[in-house]
Amino acid sequence: MTYEILQQYWWFIVSLLGALLVFLMFVQGANSCIRSLGWTEEGKRLVLNSTGRKWEFTFTTLVTFGGAFFASFPLFYSTSFGGAYWLWMIILFTFVLQAVSYEFQNKIGNFLGPKTFQWFLVLNGLAGPLLLGGAVATFFEGSNFIIVKENLVDAGAFTPIISRWANASHGLDALLNPWVLVFGLAVMFLARVLGILYVMNNVEDEDIRSRGSVRLIGAAIPFLILFVAYLAHLLLKDGYAYDEAGVIVMEPMKYLNNFIDMWYLLVILLIGVVMVLLGIGKTVMSKDYNCGVWPTGIGVVLVVLTLLLCAGWNHTAYYPSTADLQSSLTIVNSCSSEFTLTTMFYVSLLVPFVLAYIVYAWWSIDKKKLTKEDIHDDHSY
Beta strands in the chain (DSSP E): 145-147, 163-165, 239-242, 248-251
Chain-centre distance for alpha carbon 204: 28
The pairing of beta strand 239-242 with beta strand 248-251: antiparallel
Helix axis angle for 3-24 and 55-72, nearest 10°, is 160
Tell me what pLDDT residue 163 has.
77
Tell me what pLDDT residue 150 has.
62
The rounded distance, in Å, linking the Cα atoms of 144 and 320 is: 9
The rounded distance, in Å, linking the Cα atoms of 77 and 81 is: 5
- DSSP for 255-311, written as a single string: HHHHHHHTHHHHHHHHHHHHHHHHHHHHHHH-TT---THHHHHHHHHHHHHHHHHHH
Tell me the Ramachandran region of residue 246: left when phi exceeds 0, alpha when psi lies from -120 to 50, beta otherwise. Answer: left
The rounded distance, in Å, linking the Cα atoms of 304 and 191 is: 13
The answer to whether the CB of 52 falls within 8 A of the CB of 379 is no
Of 137, 95, 140, 138, which Cα lies nearest the Cα of 120? Answer: 95
The answer to whether the CB of 57 falls within 8 A of the CB of 9 is no
Tell me what pLDDT residue 102 has.
83
Per-residue pLDDT tens over the stretch 318-337: 999 998 999 999 999 999 99
The rounded distance, in Å, linking the Cα atoms of 233 and 228 is: 9
Q: Which residues touch 136 (CB under 8 Å, ≥6 apart)?
A: 18, 183, 187, 308
The answer to whether the CB of 96 falls within 8 A of the CB of 103 is no
Q: What is the pTM of this model?
A: 0.92
Ranges in the chain, pLDDT < 70: 106, 108-109, 111, 149-161, 374-381
The rounded distance, in Å, linking the Cα atoms of 179 and 189 is: 15
The rounded distance, in Å, linking the Cα atoms of 2 and 310 is: 21
**CB atoms < 10 A from the CB of 4, how many?**
11
The rounded distance, in Å, linking the Cα atoms of 376 and 41 is: 12
Tell me what pLDDT residue 165 has.
83
The rounded distance, in Å, linking the Cα atoms of 25 and 125 is: 8
